[in-house]
Amino acid sequence: MSRLTFLYQMDLPHRAVAVYTYLYDRANKNGECWPSVKTIAGDIKLSPATVRRAIRDLKKAGLIKTEQRYREKGGKSSLLFKIRM
């Protein structure tokens, strides 16, 4: 049985399944990764707006948490994604 079986049994849009699978594949042993929305969109051939909608879907379902990261001078960096593994 797959470790992602629970994901396929949930009532999620295909965009959310694709983004979760992408994040799961790139997460470290603590379930964290930090790709940009633009990187995710380019890698899985979705628009950045669709990726942002998928992230909202996943947060609402309780499958991920996000944390905004900042550069030393205060500018925004990519999000830190914490996924349920």
Q: The domain spanning residue 68 has which CATH number?
A: 1.10.10.10
Q: What is the pLDDT of residues 22-76, one digit of tens each?
A: 999 999 999 999 999 999 999 999 999 999 999 999 999 999 999 998 988 989 8
The 10 Å CB-count burial string (b at 16+, else e) for 8-23 is eeeebeebbbbbbebb
Q: Does residue 4 carry a pLDDT above 90?
A: no
CA distance between the termini of the chain: 15
Domain count, the chain: 1
3-state secondary structure of 54: helix
59 is in which domain, residue-wise?
A: 5-83
How high is the pLDDT of residue 2?
A: 78
3-state secondary structure of 42: helix
How high is the pLDDT of residue 36?
A: 93
How high is the pLDDT of residue 49?
A: 98
How high is the pLDDT of residue 1?
A: 53
* Whether the model pTM is above 0.85: yes
